[in-house]
A = this chain, B = another copy of it.
């Protein structure tokens, strides 16, 4: 198997693209900016979906499905919302093709023009709040806690597999509440659910906080975010949770009668994570040998590779291998016995490393004699010989250790690349090298904008619970009350 990954050091961006392609995660399609998610990449997404879906249901949410298309006029109802999305919309204008009368293939049938254009949803607040108007009359109808798994389209000009694609897959939660407090609590609860998932399953440490006004979701009163640091020192926002206030309720006239008999506008949240998380997963942990997947999200936990010369040896090894496979599967693990006779063990080792299978077991004739197995872990590439007898207990314990180690490593990396900075020169230097910077900011959008122009850095968030501390803005020198988190971001 031809690995030939560009190293991270040589060209991080090329390493990423190589890895996405060679680990069979995704590839570009014939449609500009739209990717094909290949079976191995999709298996990771399915894992993410099933874990998150359970977390959403455990917190009282149910799934539903709303139309792919949004009437153009709905868009304009919330002024900031349309401003945020109008520039990157796929617009459906016709509903029929016909044969070209000149015999040159098929063309759009101009007689089949829609009266009102339809937008392919970039997000569903507008169509959903138009629906909620019919569903909500009384406080008894609240809270309404709904999630949708769907595809969305944002016509981005510069795309990058998983990180920024014209079409992507996501989930979007849309909830309706009787009070401001309840809606705010919901938005924060879902932020916590996300962070729990990202830290404890994807093994990526995150920093939670508020977005600044200029980075808020179009139509939100407040956007909560969680930010992760990638190995090249850039930040990646993996998801957001929005407190929408009454903006969409007002735009779509959604009122309810309170317990006290008063008519009031409904309070809202929305929150989403996307296939972008796969990009984060790759960039946070993987190395020059390929993917490194935390066991909790790996489609295959263990691969067993037989080492043999004669067919009879394979037969003997297979008996043991299938025993171990069954044993581990009974513990809830996914195990692959790679007995292909088309490839040599070394080739297989490299392939499973590339694909990030957390644990590899190799069994040869001598292992059968000694009752042993060679166990290799993907995260550290370390090998050890273990007793075959205890393998059913040793492997699950090793997987836990790997999960823990991947998280610790990422956390250590972040600690080593997080800086508290007070000098503008140091700030610029770090932003070139990469890393998280905690620095003072005067609170104005103008300064934020200028810092971005000069260094490409943006305020990733105003971290929750960070100490109030008087200081001077890193850029303007004006007074500041608190440090905020800066980084150059994906």
Report which A residues bind B (CB closer than 8 A).
27, 29-31, 34-39, 42-43, 45-46, 62-76, 82, 86-99, 105-106, 108, 117-120, 127, 130-131, 134, 140, 146, 150-151, 153, 155, 167, 169, 342
Minimal beta-carbon separation of A448 from chain B (angstroms): 25
Determine whether the beta carbon of A97 is less than 8 Å from that of B86.
yes
Q: How far is it, in angstroms, between the C-alpha of A396 and the C-alpha of B94 when the chains are bound?
A: 52
Minimal beta-carbon separation of A69 from chain B (angstroms): 5
- Given known contacts A65-B37, A72-B106, A75-B106, is B155 in contact with A95 (CB within 8 Å)? yes
- The A interface, classified by DSSP as helix, strand, loop or mixed, is mixed
Determine whether the beta carbon of B97 is less than 8 Å from that of A67.
no
Contact pick for A91, options B31, B74, B87, B95, CB 8 Å: B95
Minimal beta-carbon separation of A318 from chain B (angstroms): 20
Q: How far is it, in angstroms, between the C-alpha of A130 and the C-alpha of B27 when the chains are bound?
A: 12
Minimal beta-carbon separation of A225 from chain B (angstroms): 26
Protomer copies: 2
Q: 10 closest A-B pairs (Cβ-Cβ)?
A: A34-B67, A86-B97, A37-B65, A39-B62, A95-B155, A91-B94, A93-B93, A31-B67, A39-B64, A31-B69
Minimal beta-carbon separation of A92 from chain B (angstroms): 5
For A87, list chain B residues within 8 Å (CB): 96-98
- Given known contacts A31-B67, A34-B68, A67-B34, is B43 in contact with A62 (CB within 8 Å)? yes
For A127, list chain B residues within 8 Å (CB): 29-31
Q: How far is it, in angstroms, between the C-alpha of A120 and the C-alpha of B119 when the chains are bound?
A: 12
For A108, list chain B residues within 8 Å (CB): 72, 91, 93, 117
Minimal beta-carbon separation of A43 from chain B (angstroms): 7
Determine whether the beta carbon of A30 is less than 8 Å from that of B71.
yes
Interface centre among A29, A67, A89 (most CB of B within 10 A): A67
Interface centre among A29, A34, A88, A150 (most CB of B within 10 A): A29
For A140, list chain B residues within 8 Å (CB): 342
- Given known contacts A94-B91, A96-B87, is B65 in contact with A42 (CB within 8 Å)? yes
- Given known contacts A76-B105, A86-B106, A127-B31, is B92 in contact with A120 (CB within 8 Å)? yes
For A27, list chain B residues within 8 Å (CB): 131, 134
Determine whether the beta carbon of A70 is less than 8 Å from that of B31.
yes
Q: How far is it, in angstroms, between the C-alpha of A64 and the C-alpha of B88 when the chains are bound?
A: 26
- Given known contacts A93-B94, A96-B89, A120-B120, is B72 in contact with A167 (CB within 8 Å)? no
Determine whether the beta carbon of A39 is less than 8 Å from that of B68.
no
